[in-house]
Structure 1
């Protein structure tokens, strides 16, 4: 995938190694700061410091008081919920539009995407159903923005899916930075056809049908509907079944080019992947080799083969 300008990702500052936590510590993400950092530009945020809390500082938590949730100290003092919300709205509407993804600090009362603890007023119990006040604003105002938490990035499937969505979203941002028509949208979809197929076959068909019959709609509406459908289709990691189906479709392009032994080798690689015996990069490497030997212009433009830099080795673990 060709990206012509730097990819900007928002990140909780503590994950970038900055000592901004309540205890002057950090929660540095090795993946973000040792691997992904070579391919993206980070924009760092610590909402708690941004609203005026000092370093070090007393811990804060989400506390339910009646029908209201406060973000305050364990004793109920120093509520900064409103300030965190306003700061989140400001970042979401002024800065997040230039971002192609966001990595949040898990379980934080300000930055957690999900499962943030909400304590009762007496402090004797809690539920894990909250969302960080800052993170909520970013996600609410930018529903298509790829977002993930540091802990979940330890899962190879979630990590690969997040990075893939960041690169697709950045490619979309570059496309629509200039005026585009239905032709350009159709070309964009054609390049992402097999990537979508590998995640959601029904969405793959639906998006193609939609663009084929969208000529009568206003182009801005078509753009909004298409990118919403695309990002939703890619929102979850691809299943082994869908990946196998996609690999089999791609294999069909070479049915008249390969020798009997080469066909058997490719079939075996795909089947071993289906059974979980080898990772995805094994059959993909074979397909890419055959594509070099037997060039196909349509396949060569497919984002599925290289959705992000190979140096990240994200398909080695899935």
Structure 2
């Protein structure tokens, strides 16, 4: 097998939902070992959209737990947080849940889009909702926009790390030529 074929097979490796859950739980174990509120706050922030794709109600509970850090013992927060994190990850992401996350992501840069770009975005979302493209494909298309608008909050999201296809997309490729 040639070197090019080896690289291709590695790049197309599929991440399962179990892999997603394992990755998140392992990162949370690091937070528990460090026992610092700043680490929990960061964990919550970078996993927001990934958790939202699983269970939006549990995401709210997790956010409230993190916010209660000045009123409640940190070890109790960690115990409660872990229970609700695991509960949230028990819910399978659906097209509807992913669509909700994608719309939240869109909200980060929608004010910077012209009408043509907004139409392109909603066309991609419609294709996703109608199962003509995967969540990985739509995220791969969106990801370059995060860098175009220098949105470090979105760039740090595990949602893109865990669900985006490894091949970068070309969202607004024709439009970008006009913009630059």
TM-score, normalising length: structure 2: 0.77
Q: CA deviation at 1:172?
A: 1.4
For the residues of structure 2 that align with 1:178 and 1:220, how far apart are their CA atoms? 11
Q: Any idea what the Cα deviations from partners look like across 1:218-241, whole Å, max 9, x if unmatched?
A: 211111111221121012320111
Q: CA deviation at 1:310?
A: 5.4
For the residues of structure 1 that align with 2:116 and 2:76, how far apart are their CA atoms? 50
For the residues of structure 2 that align with 1:216 and 1:200, how far apart are their CA atoms? 25
Instruction: Work out whether residues 195 and 304 of structure 1, in 8 Å CA contact, stay in contact via their aligned partners in 2.
Output: yes
Runs ≥4 residues deviating over 4 A? 308-311
Aligned to 1:282: 137
Distance 1:202 1:167, change over 3 A: same
The answer to whether 1:172 aligns with 2:40 is: no
For the residues of structure 1 that align with 2:23 and 2:146, how far apart are their CA atoms? 23
For the residues of structure 1 that align with 2:71 and 2:150, how far apart are their CA atoms? 36
Secondary structure of the 1:234 match is: helix
The 5-angstrom pairing of residues 109-120 of structure 1 reads none
Residue 251 (structure 1) aligned to one of 102, 106, 122: 106
Larger radius of gyration: 1
Alignment size in residue pairs: 156
Instruction: Work out whether residues 62 and 85 of structure 2, in 8 Å CA contact, stay in contact via their aligned partners in 1.
Output: yes
Aligned to 1:315: none
Gaps of 5+ in 1: 1-33, 40-155, 312-318
For the residues of structure 2 that align with 1:271 and 1:309, how far apart are their CA atoms? 17
Instruction: Work out whether residues 137 and 165 of structure 2, in 8 Å CA contact, stay in contact via their aligned partners in 1.
Output: no
Q: Any idea what the Cα deviations from partners look like across 1:52-101, whole Å, max 9, x if unmatched?
A: xxxxxxxxxxxxxxxxxxxxxxxxxxxxxxxxxxxxxxxxxxxxxxxxxx
Aligned to 1:186: 41
Instruction: Work out whether residues 135 and 164 of structure 2, in 8 Å CA contact, stay in contact via their aligned partners in 1.
Output: no
Q: CA deviation at 1:280?
A: 0.8
Q: CA deviation at 1:163?
A: 0.5
Q: Is the strand fraction higher in 1 or 2?
A: 1
For the residues of structure 2 that align with 1:204 and 1:176, how far apart are their CA atoms? 18
Q: CA deviation at 1:306?
A: 0.5
Q: CA deviation at 1:178?
A: 2.3
Q: Is the helix fraction higher in 1 or 2?
A: 2
The answer to whether 1:163 aligns with 2:39 is: no
The CA RMSD over aligned residues, in Å, is: 2.3
Aligned to 1:223: 78
Q: Which has the higher contact order (CA 8 A, sep 6+)?
A: 2
The answer to whether 1:208 aligns with 2:63 is: yes
For the residues of structure 1 that align with 2:163 and 2:124, how far apart are their CA atoms? 22
Instruction: Work out whether residues 199 and 236 of structure 1, in 8 Å CA contact, stay in contact via their aligned partners in 2.
Output: yes
Gaps of 5+ in 2: 1-8, 167-180
TM-score, normalising length: structure 1: 0.45
Distance 1:309 1:269, change over 3 A: closer
